[in-house]
Amino acid sequence: MLAYIIRRVFQSVIVLLAVGLVAFSMFRFVGDPIENLLGQERTVQDVERLREALGLNDPFAVQYARFLGRAVTGDFGISYRQSRPVSQIIAERAPATLELAFVSGVLALTVGIGLGVFTAIRRDGWAANIIMSVSLIGVSLPTFLIGILLIYLFGVQLRWLPTFGRGDVVDLGWWTTGFLTSSGLKSLILPSITLGLFQMTLIMRLVRSEMLEVLRQDYIRFARARGLSAKSVNFRHALKNTMVPVITVTGLQLGAIIAFAIITETVFQWPGVGLLFINAVQFVDIPVMAAYLMLISVMFVMINLLVDILYVWVDPRLRIDGRHT
Amino acid sequence: MSNLPDATRQGVEPLDRMEPAEVVQPSRWRSIWDADVTWSFRHSPVAVVAAVVTLAMILSAIFAPWIATTNPFDPASLNLMNGFSRPGVPNAFTGESFWLGTDDQGRDVWSTILYGLRISLFVGFMAVLFALVLGVLLGLLAGYVGGWVETIIMRVADVQLTFPSILVALLIFGVARGVIPIEYRDQMAIWVLIVAIGLSDWVQFARVVRGATLVEKNKEYVQAARLIGRKPGAIMLKHILPNVLSPVLVIATISLALAIIAEATLSFLGVGAPPTQPSLGTLIRIGQDFLFSGEWWILFFPALTLLALALSVNLLGDWLRDALNPRLR
Amino acid sequence: MDMPVLSLRNLTVDIPTRHGTLRPVDDVSWDIAAGEILGVVGESGAGKSMTGNAVIGLLDPPAHISAGEVLLEGERIDNYTLAQMRRVRGKRIGMVFQDPLTSLNPLLTIGEQLSETILRHLDVSRSEADARAIQGLDEVGIPSARNRMGAYPHEFSGGMRQRVVIALALCAEPTLLIADEPTTALDVSVQAQIIALLKRLCRERGMAAMLVTHDMGVIAETADRVAVMYAGRLAEIGPVSQIVGQPRHPYTDGLMASTPAASAGQARLRQIPGAMPRLNRMPDGCAFHPRCPRAQDKCRVNPGPKVGTADERAACWFPIEQDEAAA
């Protein structure tokens, strides 16, 4: 098991190095960093001095290593557009995105698994059929349309909930939170539903199909043949086996929530990292784009690792610890 | 196993068993289209409706210049006085009536939707075509050649698959903006969109084609073709490719729905089709500004069109997957 | 001992499909007494497993019992509700499936699966349930049973897993055991052990057993009586010595002649020409007539009459007579 995890960590590092290479290449070759820093008024000497100072004359590998070294310490350079350190900008914005992603993730996971199990057990019931039909519309409905729909309904028509921004936030020094004020909590409702709905639909459909597959297995039949109660068959025997394949995909989906926050944050003008990234794409603010890419991949890789470990924890077949030999 | 499959094995023969594994291609195609798919199509009202809607949208997009009442992007045809006309209500100033209303510039919403549909479908189809060609070629190559070629292709695919395609598309779009000089950006926007969406979507094709190639490669007929000295390229295209067409067709249909949504999303985010060539997503972005002031139709009709299009193509893809893969049902 | 443990009375199972109704089990009747092992043989698709599933109420919809009765110790159970049936399954009827590799839940220890079943059916405490579970494992021949309670199924070999499956099926002490091809998926060397185990357990507990198999060797060795099924119908039933030695139904005769174990001494194995008809293409009359060497016109019109007594009978117009077989 330890060897397995070490191998996964090793693979993760390779992935991060590859993504780092992409990020660095963007940084280095898209647009001219010198032009972005010096503007129109410059002399050949200025350019050469800056090139030397920035290390742009060094071999590619050296520059790449230096870029990685800085990235590890959280130094992603200066934003072209805001002329401030990228790390500082992202640190300001991160709490907003993470809180939104957290609420959406919990929503998607609990409701998605719950509905998935329900529709699998009552596979031919009318309620399950309605849920499945609605979920197909949910998959076809682009996230931003869901957001707009919710804004129109609850913001414009009913005037129950705020339609943009985070509301009042409490500053905890290194973190700002919307969890502690009523306007902050109210502001979270619509964006987190918007962001969570698509992942919820996916998780639900996945749980349903996996569960149906598990319910066809011989051990479920055998459990029934032993007269176990429906509750025991469905939840003790079937659900646990359903979770094994579901964990992988669900992990990826939770990672995707952070990326999909880009859309939700744009619709709701949510002051998070996603909105920052969209603005960076529009204005070709390469350092911000590169930093975002790196951070997202670190997050994904960590989620993947976590999923792998969870996998081992759930499935005894992967646990080779010599306890019963 | 359970007792039902045992019984159905006796009774209703599963579709995949009806054709022997080594059928030659023409009869395979005929058997697929003659027997299963058309039968299941005729018996699936949802698929028929979805197909009709999709086809109607494609035709309206192609013939937009003849169906649209005005060309919304010809400044000469616009009258600012017509701005904000309600659907079906004659304009207070000009007395003109527009059945889906007009936007702030006085553009007829019906016409902008038709032209927007044109852009959306064009980008969607081209992006899928791009992803398909790229994915199928790389998948064939990985499966047939193997070795380090396969390792590199599939590793890249794995890594890319970890990232949501919308993020990949955004990054490609951002990089392209950095590379393309500012004065060409709007002109090139549509093509950048196609490449960005296409590049974010090739992995599915490559994985399926590679898997099928690995299976087909060891079949006798491929061995035979190799023995009589056919070139690898010819074997891949003439012998292996026809065998992977049905899964590729399914993925292409589902990808089309995803590509249309991706395009709309990017345009909505303001990094897709420019306002001078608005797609459905751009129209929705524009319409959002007027939602709060009550001019709902500017957003509503493009959004409805997008939803109907995405849903129809999705349903079509769902049905096609079930029809071509009876075991997955 | 008068009352049979299991009685099937004209049991019929139907599967409605798009192309008409299929009848995988057609008018099957038999009794199994306490302590008796009834072997049920036939080709795959003959309705053997379907009959077993019908008895324990595990037919997959749309398959259902359309006619006839299932009596367990004289009590009709085929019209039980699902809740009532759950009290019968495991408690009064134990069932063993073909593949021990897939019959056990891979994520639960065998101890968990055993005690859960015991607690479900018997009014005992947790520790009592564990004790019974260990005893059950002991009984089926799992070495150092106490230490193996916490093991997962993948830590056992195939034969050991089938022993665990048997322990699970019998842990609530049912009066009837249905074993559906219990040895088919096992190595030949292990098969004999499992069969011996089943036989011993039936004898010790006085349990009735319905042993579904297509392996004539297993039948000859284990069963007291044998039922031969063909295309959903009961072709012949009788004591094992008679079925193996003096079959009366031409199909049984063909089956025996084609089986190495039952046709010892015969120079060459015979084979039955043709194949069993599919359920959707059943011939009129006797289902076996297209392959039967004795078939005449009336076989093509009406199914064979049941000749013989309730305990030993064949459904045939022209059964093989004793003097004929000897010749």
Percent of the residues in chain A that have a pLDDT greater than 70, as a whole number: 92
For Cα atoms A90, A93, A95, give the angle at the middle one, nearest 5 degrees.
115
Percent of the residues in chain B that have a pLDDT greater than 90, as a whole number: 5
Q: Which of C44, C58, C280 sits opposite B11 (nearest CB)?
A: C280
Q: Which of C58, C87, C94 sits opposite A224 (nearest CB)?
A: C58
Residues 6+ apart with CB under 8 A from C135: C145
Residue C85 lies in domain: 6-92+174-262+269-326
Q: Residue B130's pLDDT is what? A: 94
Q: Residue B134's pLDDT is what? A: 93
CA-based nearest distance A253→chain C, Å: 24
Which chain B residues contact residue A280 at CB under 8 A? 174
Residues 6+ apart with CB under 8 A from B252: B128, B132, B205
Around Cβ A218, how many Cβ atoms within 10 Å? Answer: 20
* Ranges assigned E (strand) in A149-308: 170-171, 176-177
Question: What is the rounded average pLDDT of the residues B196-208?
Answer: 88
CATH code, domain carrying A155: 1.10.3720.10
Residue A225 inside a domain? The answer is yes
* Subunit contact C148:A324, Cβ cutoff 8 A: yes
Q: Within the 83-112 window of chain B, which residues sit less than 8 Å (CB to CB) from chain C?
A: none
Q: Residue B124's pLDDT is what? A: 92
Q: Within the 12-31 window of chain C, which residues sit less than 8 Å (CB to CB) from chain B?
A: 15, 17-19, 22, 24
Mean confidence (pLDDT) of chain C: 84
Q: Name the residue of chain A whose CA is nearest to C58's CA.
A: A225
pLDDT at C262 over 70: no
Which one-letter DSSP state was computed for residue C278? Answer: P
CA A241 – CA A218 distance, rounded (Å) = 13
* Subunit contact C15:B11, Cβ cutoff 8 A: yes
Q: Name the residue of chain A whose CA is nearest to C95's CA.
A: A225
Residues A196-231 have pLDDT tens digits of: 888 888 889 889 988 988 888 888 988 888 888 888
Q: Residue B122's pLDDT is what? A: 92
In this prediction the ipTM stands at 0.85
CA-based nearest distance C22→chain B, Å: 7
For Cα atoms B203, B208, B209, give the angle at the middle one, nearest 5 degrees.
100
Q: Residue B14's pLDDT is what? A: 38
Residue C247: both structure tokens together = 């079959």
Number of domain units in chain A: 1
Q: Within the 263-322 window of chain C, which residues sit less than 8 Å (CB to CB) from chain B?
A: 278-280
Residue A39 inside a domain? The answer is no
Residues B235-278 have pLDDT tens digits of: 777 777 887 787 888 888 888 988 998 888 888 888 878 877 88
pLDDT at A28 over 50: yes
Characterize C150-182 residue by residue with b for buried, 16 or more Cβ atoms within 10 angstroms of its Cβ, and e for exposed.
Answer: ebbbebbeebbbbbbbbbbbbbbbbbbbbbbbb
pLDDT at A322 over 50: no
Number of domain units in chain C: 1
Counting one residue from B and one from C, how many pairs have CB atoms under 8 Å apart?
43
CA A105 – CA A256 distance, rounded (Å) = 10
pLDDT at B169 over 60: yes
pLDDT at C258 over 80: no
pLDDT at C265 over 70: no
* Subunit contact B268:A144, Cβ cutoff 8 A: yes
Q: Within the 164-193 window of chain B, which residues sit less than 8 Å (CB to CB) from chain A?
A: 164, 166-167, 170-171, 173-175, 177-179
CATH code, domain carrying B69: 1.10.3720.10
Mutate which: B120, B163, B263, B296, vs A, most A CBs within 10 A: B163
Q: Name the residue of chain C whose CA is nearest to B3's CA.
A: C50
Which segment of A40-54, A122-136, A246-260, B103-117 scores lowest on mean pLDDT? A40-54
* Subunit contact B257:A152, Cβ cutoff 8 A: no
Q: Name the residue of chain C whose CA is nearest to A240's CA.
A: C107
CB-based contact, A231 to chain C, within 8 Å = no
Percent of the residues in chain C that have a pLDDT greater than 70, as a whole number: 94
**Residue of higher predicted confidence among A288 and B6:** A288
Q: Residue B128's pLDDT is what? A: 93
CB-based contact, A216 to chain C, within 8 Å = no
Q: Residue A115's pLDDT is what? A: 92
Q: Residue C63's pLDDT is what? A: 86
Which chain C residues contact residue A218 at CB under 8 A? 97, 99, 102-103
Residue B20 inside a domain? The answer is no
Categorise residue C68: left if φ over 0, alpha if ψ from -120 to 50, beta otherwise.
left
CB-based contact, C58 to chain B, within 8 Å = yes
Question: What is the rounded average pLDDT of the residues B192-198?
Answer: 88
Q: Which of B2, B4, B12 sits opposite C19 (nearest CB)?
A: B12
Which chain C residues contact residue A121 at CB under 8 A? none
Which chain B residues contact residue C17 at CB under 8 A? 8, 11-12
Residue B308 inside a domain? The answer is yes
With helix as H, strand as E and coil as C, how does chain B read? CCHHHHHHHHCCCCHHHHCCCCCCHHHHHHHHHHHHHHHHHHCCHHHHHHHHHHHHHHHHHHCHHHHCCCCCCCHHHCCHHHCCCCCCCCCCCCCCCCCCCECCCCCEHHHHHHHHHHHHHHHHHHHHHHHHHHHHHHHHHHHHHCHHHHHHHHHHHHHHHHCCHHHHHHHHHHHHHHHCCHHHHHHHHHHHHHHHHHHCCHHHHHHHHHHHHHHHHCCHHHHHHHHCCCCHHHHHHHHHHHHHHHHHHHHHHHHHHHHHHHHHHHHHCCCCCCCCCCCHHHHHHHHHCCCCCCCCHHHHHHHHHHHHHHHHHHHHHHHHHHHHCHHHC
Which one-letter DSSP state was computed for residue A275? Answer: H
Residue C131 inside a domain? The answer is no
Which one-letter DSSP state was computed for residue C184? Answer: T
CA-based nearest distance B240→chain C, Å: 35
Residue B318 lies in domain: 43-328
Residues C39-98 have pLDDT tens digits of: 898 888 788 888 988 999 888 888 888 888 898 888 888 888 888 888 889 889 999 988
Question: What is the rounded average pLDDT of the residues B33-48?
Answer: 70
**Can you say how many angstroms the Cα of residue A112 is from the centroid of all Cα atoms in its chain?**
16
Q: Residue B3's pLDDT is what? A: 40
Residues B297-329 have pLDDT tens digits of: 878 888 888 888 988 888 888 888 777 764 443
Percent of the residues in chain B that have a pLDDT greater than 70, as a whole number: 79
* Subunit contact A263:B2, Cβ cutoff 8 A: no
Question: What is the rounded average pLDDT of the residues A30-34?
Answer: 64
Residue B146 inside a domain? The answer is yes
Q: Which of A223, A225, A314 sits opposite C105 (nearest CB)?
A: A223
Q: Residue B5's pLDDT is what? A: 39
Residues C195-216 have pLDDT tens digits of: 888 888 888 888 999 999 888 8
* Subunit contact C45:B10, Cβ cutoff 8 A: yes
Q: How confident is the model at residue B19 (pLDDT cuts 50, 70, 90)?
A: very low
Mutate which: B54, B57, B265, vs A, most A CBs within 10 A: B265
Q: Which of A224, A232, A244 sits opposite C89 (nearest CB)?
A: A224
CATH code, domain carrying C304: 3.40.50.300
Top mean-pLDDT range of A144-148, A173-177, A300-304, C279-283: A144-148
Residues A252-285 have pLDDT tens digits of: 777 788 888 888 998 888 898 989 998 888 887 8
Q: Which helix (H) or strand (E) holds A201?
A: helix A182-215
Q: Which of A140, A151, A293 sits opposite B171 (nearest CB)?
A: A293
pLDDT at C166 over 60: yes
pLDDT at C324 over 70: no
pLDDT at A154 over 80: yes
Top mean-pLDDT range of A156-170, B128-142, C208-222: B128-142
Residue B16 inside a domain? The answer is no
Residue A84 inside a domain? The answer is no
Q: Which of B170, B174, B314 sits opposite A140 (nearest CB)?
A: B314
Question: What is the rounded average pLDDT of the residues B191-214?
Answer: 87
Q: Residue B9's pLDDT is what? A: 36
Residue A273 lies in domain: 98-284
Residue A53 inside a domain? The answer is no
Q: Residue B13's pLDDT is what? A: 37
Residue A120 inside a domain? The answer is yes
Residue B126 inside a domain? The answer is yes
Which chain C residues contact residue A227 at CB under 8 A? 85-91, 117, 120-121, 172
Q: Name the residue of chain C whose CA is nearest to A236's CA.
A: C108
